[in-house]
């Protein structure tokens, strides 16, 4: 009996192209004023209610991914994750500089909104809090997000040439229909709602569903001041008419007051 038995032959997966030819994808404007700021996999797990084990070997797309380390961390856990952001069209040096300037801007803004932020050392301000806080303090939260950007920048340098990071902007994604098992989109659609009109929101949601073979999850459903996106009922009706079912689901996470739900979208079952 040899000490080292030969491993069983690897099951080859059939080649499945993800990227649609560039010519079939309409150009989209870059929205430069949205901050290039990102969170770690740990926060994604909480606000999207993800089960990492169940995603192993699955194709997951993170849209408007910014400098989040979700994709780098997910790939390290053998999830086939891809990230999309219009900023990825830029070189690494630009992204590094933008992280510096945008993080300073977001951190100053977060400090100014401190009373809305739900971290454990503010419990006296929020005595009613459930178990929805992931950070002990604001300092801890900001440090975690800085670390996330550093992980992203290192991974972008190594893996951008392999297609892990794709420069594109909603409402056009350069992928074939039903390419991904799960599509995620955090901190763009509703938190930045004022920058986009209603038609853009409908088109963006339809595009997220088009490239998904299962579910789309979007978080949060409110603006930075915690007010729910006012056109959500109209958006859901419009999507329903386009054959897309939607569901608002509570999540066990609330970084800022009001941001405690996600929207799930999927193709509505068609009558046989
Ligand atoms: C605040 S970051 C969110 C990063 C990450 N999803 C998270 O939750 O940590 C928002 C990102 O949306 C990107 N963005 C702006 N316009 C976009 C568009 N039309 N389509 C996709 N992403 C866009 C910005 O470049 C920015 O990186």
Tens digit of each residue's pLDDT (9 = 90 or more) over 4-49: 666 555 455 555 667 765 545 555 554 558 999 999 999 999 999 9
Asked if residue 181 belongs to a domain, the reply is yes
| Pocket-testing residue among 25, 26, 29, 34, ligand 1, by greatest number of atoms within 8 A of Cβ | 34
- With respect to residue 3, please indicate whether it lies within any of the assigned structural domains: no
Record the tokens describing residue 86, joined without a space.
């219009």
31 Cα: distance to centroid of ligand 1 (angstroms): 9
The CATH number given to whatever domain includes residue 258 is 3.40.50.150
- Does residue 94 sit in helix, strand or coil? helix
Residues of the chain with pLDDT under 70: 1-17, 20-32, 120-133, 271-272
Measured in Å, residue 4 CA sits from the centre of ligand 1 at 48
Q: Whose CA is nearest to atom 14 of ligand 1?
A: 64
In a domain, 252, yes or no: yes
In a domain, 255, yes or no: yes
Query: Which residues have any ligand 1 atom within 6 Å of their CB?
Result: 31, 34-39, 63-66, 68, 85-87, 169-170, 186-188
For 174, residues 6+ apart whose C-beta sits below 8 A from its C-beta are 19, 20, 22, 25, 166, 168
Number of H helices and E strands in the chain, helices first, is 7, 7
β-pair partners for 256:
117
pLDDT at 113: 82
pTM (2 decimals)? 0.89
Residue 128 inside a domain? The answer is yes
Helices (H), the chain: 41-47, 52-55, 70-76, 92-112, 138-159, 198-210, 232-241
- Residue 101 structure tokens: 């300037």
Q: Of all atoms in ligand 1, which is nearest to the CA of residue 148?
A: 9
11: in domain: no
* Domain interval for residue 78: 58-267
Residue 243 lies in a domain: yes
**Ligand 1 centroid – CA 137 distance (Å):** 25
Q: How many domains does the chain have?
A: 1
d(CA 45, CA 254): 13
DSSP conformation letters of 140-191:
HHHHHHHHHHHHHHHHHHHHGGGTSEE---TT---B-TT-EEEEEEESSTTT
- Residue 15's pLDDT is 55
**For tokens 């392999």, what's the residue?**
162
Closest ligand 1 atom to the C-alpha of 196? 19
Residue 34 lies in a domain: no
Token pair for 249: 């689901």
Closest-CA residue, ligand 1 atom 15, reads 31
Q: Name the token pair of 153.
A: 């920048």
In this predicted structure, what is the pLDDT of residue 189?
A: 96
Which residue out of 188, 196, 262 has the highest number of ligand 1 atoms within 8 Å of its CB and is therefore the one to mutate? 188
Distance (Å) from CA 192 to ligand 1 centroid: 9
Q: Buried b vs exposed e over 32-64: b needs ≥16 C-beta within 10 Å?
A: eebbbbbbbbebbbbbbbbeeeebeebbbbbbb
Q: From the CA of 65, how far away is ligand 1's center (Å)?
A: 6
CA–CA dist 29, 16 (Å, integer): 29
């Amino acid at each position: 009996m040899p000490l080292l038995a030969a491993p069983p032959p690897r099951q080859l997966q059939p080649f499945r192209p993800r990227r649609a030819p560039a010519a079939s994808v309409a150009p989209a404007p870059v929205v430069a004023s949205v901050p290039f700021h990102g969170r770690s996999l740990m926060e994604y797990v909480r606000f999207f209610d993800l089960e990492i084990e169940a995603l192993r070997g699955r194709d997951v797309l993170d849209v408007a991914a910014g400098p989040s380390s979700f994709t780098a961390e997910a790939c390290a856990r053998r999830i086939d994750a891809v990230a999309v952001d219009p900023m990825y069209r830029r070189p690494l040096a630009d992204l590094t500089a933008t992280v510096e300037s945008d993080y300073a801007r977001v951190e100053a803004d977060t400090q100014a909104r401190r009373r809305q932020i739900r971290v454990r050392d503010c419990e006296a301000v929020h005595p009613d809090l459930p178990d929805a806080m992931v950070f002990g303090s604001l300092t801890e939260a900001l440090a975690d997000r800085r670390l996330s950007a550093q992980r992203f920048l290192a991974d972008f340098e190594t893996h951008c040439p392999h297609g892990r990071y794709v420069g594109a902007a909603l409402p056009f994604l350069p992928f074939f229909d039903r390419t991904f098992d799960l599509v995620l989109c955090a901190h763009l659609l509703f938190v930045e709602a004022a920058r986009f009109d209603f038609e853009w929101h409908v088109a963006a949601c339809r595009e997220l569903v088009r490239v998904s073979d299962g579910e789309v999850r979007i978080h949060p459903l409110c603006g930075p001041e915690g007010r729910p996106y006012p056109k959500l009922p109209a958006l859901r009706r419009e999507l329903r008419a386009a054959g897309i079912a939607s569901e608002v689901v509570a999540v066990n996470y609330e970084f800022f007051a009001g941001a405690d739900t996600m929207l799930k979208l999927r193709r509505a079952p068609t009558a046989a």
